[in-house]
């Protein structure tokens, strides 16, 4: 049996789940309610990258991006991306 690591995390005080996925080499964050109801899809601002690590804390996530190294942050309240490094 093969397994695939899918980065995910809890946000908004454990009331939403965020999953990382790819569509045509574009990373997306998918937001679900705590009952696993799809709510939103947020496109990463750069295509053709890989995101091996995602860390979530309440209303933000920090993502390691390669090639790089690069660090990006998403604020889930404003839905704004910011390149940190």
What confidence tens digit (pLDDT) does each residue in 23-77 have?
888 999 999 998 999 999 999 999 889 998 899 988 999 999 998 889 999 999 9
Assign 5 a pLDDT band (cuts: 50, 70, 90): low
Confidence check: pLDDT of 3 > 70: no
User: Given this model, what pLDDT does residue 1 score?
Assistant: 41
Assign 2 a pLDDT band (cuts: 50, 70, 90): very low
Does residue 50 contact residue 69 with C-beta atoms inside 8 Å?
Answer: no
Distance CA 68, CA 29 (A): 20
Candidates 33, 73, 76; CA nearest to 55 is 73
Whether omega before 67 lies within 30 degrees of 0, making that bond cis, reads yes
φ and ψ of 56, to 5 deg: -110, 140
User: Given this model, what pLDDT does residue 34 score?
Assistant: 85
């Amino acid at each position: 049996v093969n397994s695939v690591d899918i980065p995910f995390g809890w946000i908004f005080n454990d009331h939403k789940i965020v999953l990382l996925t790819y569509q045509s080499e574009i990373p997306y964050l998918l937001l679900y309610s705590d009952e696993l109801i799809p709510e939103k899809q947020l496109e990463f601002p750069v295509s053709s990258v890989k995101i091996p690590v995602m860390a979530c804390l309440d209303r933000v996530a920090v993502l390691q991006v390669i090639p790089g190294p690069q660090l990006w942050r998403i604020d889930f309240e404003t839905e704004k991306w910011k390149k940190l490094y």
